[in-house]
């Protein structure tokens, strides 16, 4: 007996999760699109799927992105597994293998992109910022700070000795407290990070030279652009993510990586995934005037 597109739509409509819009979006919508856009339905689902490789090839042609392809094949597998008697009439294993292959392709694509990322070690970043801005600069203080407090874009509102602030440095205790921070504060909660004596000396010296209530004050109030500008002026093509990966790529024991994960605000295994292969660091000699012009253009976009 033929299984028509109307039969398929009725199957989803009668499902116990049919009132869940997200469920329909992830299950019904992709299957309906498959049959409307890239498969020869001929008003019979079994006929459409009778040649798995032909169907898979059409899906690959329509969705070259492996992650998107995985999404559609996963929805198709759900239908094959749950529509009455359908799995008996089609070669499920081939669709399952295609779904598995799409996952492998996505990982390979991610790894290939990661291998092509021009990464640089944290010591090299440290040295480049030191040479460009000097030991007493706020830019160099930021890099030394980030080596001990490798958070995300949470540094432009770190207060000094303001215990009512969401993020503040306690000069007497020599630690930073963070109640609210990007992405993971609800999961990991309050952070208290003890700072080294060397970093505390740098902070106090910087505050004596430039009295202020915020630890970091840069000309660009956008944290993303501020870091990119600092790195570019030091001859490094990168962002805050470059620095985070550089910190995570440092050789350390599993126990040290657990401690790093607490500071970063993610699972210890995520810290391992952050590791990047070392490559030869090639410094970019970019005139300051050109960097300033580019920064102004970016700010206008």
Over range 65-73, report the average pLDDT. Answer: 91
Over range 82-106, report the average pLDDT. Answer: 87
- Is 285 a residue whose pLDDT tops 60? no
**Residues 148, 175 contacting (CB under 8 angstroms):** no
Torsion over CA of 129, 130, 136 and 141, rounded to 10 degrees? 50
Q: Hunting for tokens 């290939």 — which residue is that?
A: 112
pTM for this prediction: 0.51
> 108-122 pLDDT, tens per residue?
776 565 554 446 788
- What is the distance between the alpha carbons of residues 153 and 156, in angstroms, rounded to a whole number? 8
> Around Cβ 147, how many Cβ atoms within 10 Å?
18
Quickly state the pLDDT bin for 161 (edges 50, 70, 90).
very high
> Around Cβ 229, how many Cβ atoms within 10 Å?
20
What is each CA distance from 283 to 140, 148, 241, 246, 300, in whole angstroms?
Answer: 17, 24, 18, 16, 27
- Is 130 a residue whose pLDDT tops 90? yes
Question: What CATH code would you report for 122-300?
Answer: 1.10.443.10
Quickly state the pLDDT bin for 261 (edges 50, 70, 90).
confident
Q: In this structure, what token pair is assigned to residue 273?
A: 């995934």
Angle, in degrees to the nearest 10, between helices 288-300 and 223-233: 160
Minimum mean pLDDT among 75-84, 123-132, 133-142, 181-190: which range?
A: 181-190
Which of 3-12, 39-48, 199-208 has the highest mean predicted lDDT (pLDDT)? 199-208
> 190-244 pLDDT, tens per residue?
888 899 999 999 999 999 999 999 999 998 889 899 999 999 999 998 888 888 8
Minimum mean pLDDT among 30-39, 160-169, 199-208: which range?
A: 30-39
Tell me the percentage of the chain whose pLDDT exceeds 70: 80
Sheet hosting strand 175-178, strand order edge to edge: 159-160, 167-170, 175-178, 191-194
**Residues 230, 155 contacting (CB under 8 angstroms):** no
146 or 35, higher pLDDT = 146
**Residues 212, 218 contacting (CB under 8 angstroms):** no
265 or 238, higher pLDDT = 238
Q: Where are the domains of the chain?
A: 5-115, 122-300
């Amino acid at each position: 007996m033929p299984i028509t597109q109307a039969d398929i739509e009725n199957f989803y409509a009668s499902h116990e999760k049919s009132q869940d819009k997200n469920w329909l979006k992830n299950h019904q919508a992709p299957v309906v699109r498959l049959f409307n856009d890239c498969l020869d339905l001929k008003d019979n689902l079994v006929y459409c799927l009778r040649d798995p490789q032909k169907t898979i090839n059409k899906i690959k042609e329509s969705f070259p992105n492996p992650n998107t392809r995985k999404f559609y094949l996963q929805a198709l597998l759900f239908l094959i597994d749950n529509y009455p008697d359908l799995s008996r009439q089609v070669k499920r294993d081939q669709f399952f293998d295609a779904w598995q292959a799409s996952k492998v392709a996505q990982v390979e694509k991610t790894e290939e992109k990661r291998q092509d990322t021009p990464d640089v070690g944290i010591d090299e970043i440290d040295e480049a910022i030191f040479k460009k801005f000097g030991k007493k600069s706020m830019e160099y203080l930021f890099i030394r700070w980030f080596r001990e407090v490798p958070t995300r874009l949470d540094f432009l509102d770190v207060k000094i000795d303001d215990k009512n602030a969401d993020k503040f440095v306690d000069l007497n205790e020599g630690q930073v407290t963070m109640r609210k921070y990007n992405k993971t504060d609800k999961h990991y909660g309050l952070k208290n990070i003890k700072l080294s004596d060397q970093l505390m000396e740098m902070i106090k010296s910087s505050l004596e030279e430039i009295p202020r209530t915020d630890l970091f004050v840069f000309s660009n109030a956008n944290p993303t652009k501020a870091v990119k500008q600092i790195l570019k002026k030091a001859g490094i093509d990168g962002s805050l993510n470059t620095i985070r990966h550089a910190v995570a790529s440092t050789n350390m024991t599993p126990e040290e990586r657990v401690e790093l994960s607490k500071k970063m605000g993610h699972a210890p295994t995520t810290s391992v995934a952050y590791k990047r292969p070392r490559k030869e660091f090639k410094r970019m000699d970019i005139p300051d005037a050109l960097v300033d012009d580019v920064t102004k253009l970016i700010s206008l976009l």
